[in-house]
Amino acid sequence: MGKVAVAAAVVCAAAVSAGAVLVVRHRMRNSGKWAKAMDILREFEDRCGTPIAKLRQVADAMTVEMHAGLASDGGSKLKMLISYVDNLPTGDETGIFYALDLGGTNFRVLRVKLGGADNVKKEFTEVSIPSHLMTGTCEDLFDFIAGELAKFVATEGEDMHITAGTQRELGFTFSFPVKQSSIAGGTLVRWTKGFNIEDAVGQDVVDELTKAMERIGLDMRVSALVNDTVGTLAGGRYSNTNVIAAVILGTGTNAAYVERANAIPKWQGLLPKSGEMVINMEWGNFRSSHLPLTEFDENLDNASLNPGEQIFEKIISGMYLGEIVRRVLLKMAKEAEFFGETVPLKLETQFVLRTPDMSAMHHDSTPDLKVVATKLKDILEISNTSLKMRRVIVEVCETVATRGARLSAAGILGILKKIGRDTIKEGEEPQKSVIAMDGGLFEHYTKFRKAMQTAMDELLGEEASNNILIELSNDGSGLGAALLAASHSQYREYIEST
Ligand code: ADP
Ligand code: MG
């Protein structure tokens, strides 16, 4: 070999080894970043842990708060609102009634013809609420609702006409905290779920709706004002007498249950004949030192429209689950360059990752996680992810959903304990208890629903869990509101006496 050739070979070898060093360094840096991302993930998982012992503490705390909220107004984070519903439907209700369901992104208008428990004809329409109305004025919101209601009334067919000379009646499902003064009246305590219409707080929502209907000349009487949980309970009871509670897991979350009227110290009215009263817990506002909260939950809360409020809701309901996932991914992007050197811009936008999209990623059963890749690309404009990265993203979804689902189960156990239905009493015939469930999260997020059932079974043990059923009561709340309008109809005595 000549001198030149030797020199060239040496230079070449040097270049190769320098290159190799660069690759190794790059790999080391990458593996350092990967390790950092894994640290973030593991720490998040640890903090979200919901072992059975913790769930029991949460359930006990729920029971304690229920007692406190029933004892006095303001006695607890749980408002434990008296619904004035002391008689649940029997199945004998008849007639044509309207219902309106306002409480989230969509609102529904319903027309129901009641002719006995298995003879119900329903017609409905669903309208999404323009977002500017969610933070506008009270009058604008109610004018919009009354307008949509009037349009729907105009579509009444021949077989759905009310008796000549009578007034149409409406059950109004209004799924925000309301302090009721009667079955058909109550003032708004505060907004939740992204609504924030200041001049409506403290107003009687039935008056506001009635005024809006008058403004457009729609002649209709609001005969019952109910929360969606109360409506779901009523709707569920219509077809199953074992229904004792209702839980909503949708945009927000809440629960209602049947309480003994003499176990409500703050109830100042006459004891109802039935001896029972439906309580709207407003459980979304539950909080306890036992809740497994993380830095992401704290930051989400601080940035929300209602900081410090609805903490339970903010870790279990549909409005927030996707947002928690986004916040975890954002930290991984910022501190571990999880998606590369720059943080994807879209990932910085609050609420871009919605729970249905999180759910789609979580349920991705393709071997290479194609759905995850597509969602990342379409929603966050992130491409070129490795399978390994996509697996991490699924794991974040799994952690967030599982925590929410298991805490929901703990909440239900709290209710069952309060009414003594969590165990089978020795020597007694086992009683069946049914929890009527509704809401898009419970209905569509299969892995959430399954994790919740698993936690329920673990908490109750085999024998008790055989007698406690968690059942989807699809749109029970609309039917329930119509049924409650029927049982509080101005023509009730006339109907009963004919
Ligand atoms: P609302 O609670 O607004 O009255 P729904 O009960 O229909 O309405 O619930 C809608 C919510 O359910 C959405 O905001 C979303 O969080 C959740 N949701 C809807 N579809 C899905 C899905 N496929 N997977 C997970 N969550 C879903
Ligand atoms: Mg709803």
- Residue 343 within any structural domain of the chain: no
d(CA 265, ligand 2 centre) in Å: 30
Tens digits of residue pLDDT in 345-354: 999 999 999 9
Residues 6+ apart with CB under 8 A from 233: 88, 243, 245, 246, 256, 257, 258, 278, 436, 476, 480
Question: Does the C-beta of 441 come closer than 6 Å to ligand 1?
Answer: yes
Tens digits of residue pLDDT in 116-166: 767 889 999 999 999 999 999 999 999 999 999 999 999 998 888 887 788
The closest ligand to the CA of 249 turns out to be: 1
Share of the chain above pLDDT 90, in %: 78
- With bands split at pLDDT 50, 70 and 90, how would you rate the model's confidence at 50? very high
d(CA 436, ligand 1 centre) in Å: 17
Give the DSSP letter string of 332-382: HHHHH-TTSSSPPGGGGSTT-S-HHHHHHHHT--STT-HHHHHHHHHHH--
- Residue 209 within any structural domain of the chain: yes
d(CA 134, ligand 1 centre) in Å: 17
Decide if pLDDT at 14 tops 70.
Answer: no
Please tell me the predicted confidence (pLDDT) of residue 1: 45
Please tell me the predicted confidence (pLDDT) of residue 28: 66
Pairing of strands 94-102, 81-82: unpaired
Question: Does the C-beta of 356 come closer than 6 Å to ligand 1?
Answer: yes
Residue nearest to atom 1 of ligand 1 (CA): 104
Question: Does the C-beta of 474 come closer than 6 Å to ligand 1?
Answer: no
- Residue 211 within any structural domain of the chain: yes
d(CA 478, ligand 2 centre) in Å: 9
Best residue among 251, 398, 445 to mutate for probing ligand 1's pocket (most ligand atoms within 8 Å of CB) is 251
- Number of domains into which the chain is organized: 1
Question: Does the C-beta of 105 come closer than 6 Å to ligand 1?
Answer: yes
Residue nearest to atom 12 of ligand 1 (CA): 440
- Residue 317 within any structural domain of the chain: no
Mean pLDDT of 393-412: 98
Judge residue 367's burial from the number of C-beta atoms within 10 Å of its C-beta, 0-12 exposed, 13-18 middle, 19 or more buried: exposed
Mean pLDDT of 325-350: 97
Of 175, 317, 433, 487, which one is the catalytic site residue?
175
- With bands split at pLDDT 50, 70 and 90, how would you rate the model's confidence at 25? low
- Residue 32 within any structural domain of the chain: no
Please tell me the predicted confidence (pLDDT) of residue 256: 98
Decide if pLDDT at 12 tops 80.
Answer: no
Atom of ligand 1 nearest to the CA of 321: 16
- With bands split at pLDDT 50, 70 and 90, how would you rate the model's confidence at 8? low
Instruction: Identify which has the larger pLDDT, 164 or 206.
Output: 206
Atom of ligand 1 nearest to the CA of 438: 6
Please tell me the predicted confidence (pLDDT) of residue 491: 80
Atom of ligand 1 nearest to the CA of 317: 16
Q: Which of 54-68, 100-114, 312-326, 410-424 has the lowest mean pLDDT?
A: 100-114
Distance CA 133, CA 197 (A): 8
Q: Is-catalytic flag, 223?
A: no
Q: Is 136 helix (H, G, I), strand (E, B) or coil?
A: coil
Please tell me the predicted confidence (pLDDT) of residue 24: 66
Q: Which of 1-10, 56-65, 160-169, 435-444 has the lowest mean pLDDT?
A: 1-10
Distance CA 58, CA 42 (A): 23
Best residue among 310, 444, 450 to mutate for probing ligand 1's pocket (most ligand atoms within 8 Å of CB) is 444
Best residue among 314, 351, 355 to mutate for probing ligand 1's pocket (most ligand atoms within 8 Å of CB) is 355
Please tell me the predicted confidence (pLDDT) of residue 429: 84
Residue nearest to atom 7 of ligand 1 (CA): 440
Please tell me the predicted confidence (pLDDT) of residue 11: 53
Decide if pLDDT at 470 tops 50.
Answer: yes
- Residue 188 within any structural domain of the chain: yes
Atom of ligand 1 nearest to the CA of 101: 4
Tell how far CA 252 is from the center of its chain: 3
Tens digits of residue pLDDT in 253-304: 999 999 999 999 999 888 888 899 999 999 999 999 999 999 999 999 999 9
Decide if pLDDT at 185 tops 80.
Answer: yes
Judge residue 140's burial from the number of C-beta atoms within 10 Å of its C-beta, 0-12 exposed, 13-18 middle, 19 or more buried: middle
Decide if pLDDT at 16 tops 70.
Answer: no
Please tell me the predicted confidence (pLDDT) of residue 496: 44
Decide if pLDDT at 363 tops 80.
Answer: yes
Atom of ligand 1 nearest to the CA of 175: 4
- Residue 150 within any structural domain of the chain: yes
Task: Domain of residue 194: give its range.
Answer: 82-228+475-491
Mean pLDDT of 247-253: 95
Judge residue 493's burial from the number of C-beta atoms within 10 Å of its C-beta, 0-12 exposed, 13-18 middle, 19 or more buried: exposed
- Residue 202 within any structural domain of the chain: yes
Decide if pLDDT at 9 tops 80.
Answer: no
Decide if pLDDT at 22 tops 70.
Answer: no
Mean pLDDT of 173-182: 91
Please tell me the predicted confidence (pLDDT) of residue 160: 84
Q: What is the mean pLDDT of the chain?
A: 91
User: 258 is written with which tokens?
Assistant: 């049947």
- With bands split at pLDDT 50, 70 and 90, how would you rate the model's confidence at 93? confident
Of 190, 237, 421, 449, which one is the catalytic site residue?
190
Tens digits of residue pLDDT in 437-468: 999 999 999 999 999 999 999 999 988 999 99
Q: Which of 14-28, 112-126, 199-213, 372-386 has the lowest mean pLDDT?
A: 14-28
Mean pLDDT of 422-446: 92
Q: What is the CATH number of the domain that holds 89?
A: 3.30.420.40
Distance CA 141, CA 127 (A): 13
Q: Is-catalytic flag, 228?
A: yes
Distance CA 29, CA 42 (A): 20
Decide if pLDDT at 485 tops 90.
Answer: yes
d(CA 425, ligand 2 centre) in Å: 35
